[in-house]
Amino acid sequence: MTAVALATALMTVSACKYEDMVPENAPLPAELVRAINANHMGINSPILVRLYKEESDLEIWKQKTDGTYGLLKSYKICAWSGKLGPKTREGDRQAPEGFYTVTPAQLNPNSKYHLAINIGYPNLYDRANGRTGDALMIHGSCNSSGCYAMDDAQVQEIYALARHSFDGGQRAFQIQAYPFRMTPKNMARHKNSDHYAFWQMLKKGSDYFDVTKRPPNVGVCNRSYVFDQDTKTLANLSPTGPCPQIEMAPQVAAKQQQDEVKTEEIAANMAPSEFATSSTFTYRTGEPITAEAYAQEQHRREGFDRTGKRVGGSSGSIFSLFE
């Protein structure tokens, strides 16, 4: 049976063109194609990415035939580094939080981490707030120094979905990177964080998408994110200048108000021990990181070592069946 399987695999390889075998041109798995069709989406329809640090989830949302976006697939992030909170400076090993834009030029088929997608940090908001750093990615190899690392099979699938969306005419897709799912319960748990005001701001963009199932238009003024404004308003914004009168869609504003009330109610009934505590991990930029500190700042899926290699697993190649 092994011989037959090997022969079949080799025949499959020989029937493929070389360019079809390289990772950046890998086809979508048949199961994923079936899910796309079942959810009234198109293979080449636009995508959107949502990231949640605390839950270690990466979600791919895809546009449906009615123009709204539906959840296609959720992946477990293999590794992210740092702690909850935004990236602020080069070398702090923090994974970014915020709203980012990816164009075709940000896909890297030649990454040493199998494949990579540049998130687009720093964006207008980051630069307006003096934040530094670059080359922050979603990539393979399950090893992070400020990136969102996936295993190689996952990033190959995500890369293929991005490639197909650009083939279909999407000029850029949005990445929404959050510290956690922006529920009233989670907001209450993290109410004592130094980053709470920042997360309240991110929640406005999250609420817009949750209500409308469409990507919010994102702008920056007064060193803050603003959402759901028309393109003319966004074009006239200055990242460090004053903000105009901002109005949200009524149903979005209603959700925000309801969630704020719910958050306060939950927090008022929580015991002190139920509030999330901030990590005491600190890393001084430029200093070699110790093994102990590295262990504290890495959030890695079980089954991978500190170099990002699978422990006791297969290589993921078509020949792994016979190892």
pLDDT in tens, 32-65: 999 999 999 999 999 999 999 999 999 999 999 9
Is residue 299 very low, low, confident or very high in pLDDT (cuts 50, 70, 90)? confident
Q: What is the CA radius of gyration of the chain?
A: 21
Nearest to 241 by CA among 221, 226, 225, 224: 221
pLDDT at residue 316 tops 50: no
Q: What is the pLDDT, as a whole number, of residue 9?
A: 43
Distance in angstroms (rounded) separating the CA atoms of residues 93 and 297: 8
CB 101 within 8 A of CB 174: yes
Residue carrying structure tokens 């008022």: 268
Q: What is the pLDDT, as a whole number, of residue 15?
A: 40
Q: What are the structure tokens assigned to 262, written together?
A: 């719910």
Nearest to 122 by CA among 132, 107, 110, 111: 132
Percentage of the chain with pLDDT > 90?
70
Is residue 17 very low, low, confident or very high in pLDDT (cuts 50, 70, 90)? very low
Percentage of the chain with pLDDT > 70?
83
Distance in angstroms (rounded) separating the CA atoms of residues 134 and 161: 24
Nearest to 172 by CA among 217, 208, 116: 217
Identified catalytic residue from 139, 164, 190, 299: 139
Distance in angstroms (rounded) separating the CA atoms of residues 49 and 40: 18
Q: What is the pLDDT, as a whole number, of residue 315?
A: 44
Nearest to 81 by CA among 53, 57, 111: 53
Nearest to 115 by CA among 151, 80, 81: 151
pLDDT at residue 19 tops 90: no
Distance in angstroms (rounded) separating the CA atoms of residues 283 and 261: 37
The string of pLDDT tens digits covering residues 146-194 is 999 999 999 999 999 999 999 999 999 999 999 999 999 999 999 999 9
pTM for this predicted structure: 0.87
In terms of C-beta distances under 8 Å and separation of at least 24 residues, what long-range contacts does 189-195 make, across chains too? 189/270, 189/274, 189/275, 189/276, 190/84, 190/275, 190/276, 191/263, 191/267, 191/275, 192/275, 192/276, 193/84, 193/85, 193/276, 193/278, 194/85, 194/278, 195/84, 195/85, 195/86
Q: Dihedral angle at the C-alpha atoms of 42, 164, 219, 196, nearest 10 degrees?
A: 90
Distance in angstroms (rounded) separating the CA atoms of residues 230 and 217: 7
Identified catalytic residue from 78, 142, 147, 221: 147
**40 catalytic residue (yes or no):** no
**147 catalytic residue (yes or no):** yes
Q: What is the pLDDT, as a whole number, of residue 293?
A: 62
Query: What's the whole-number mean pLDDT along residues 289-311?
Result: 73
Q: What angle do CA 154, 157, 161 make, to 5 degrees?
A: 140
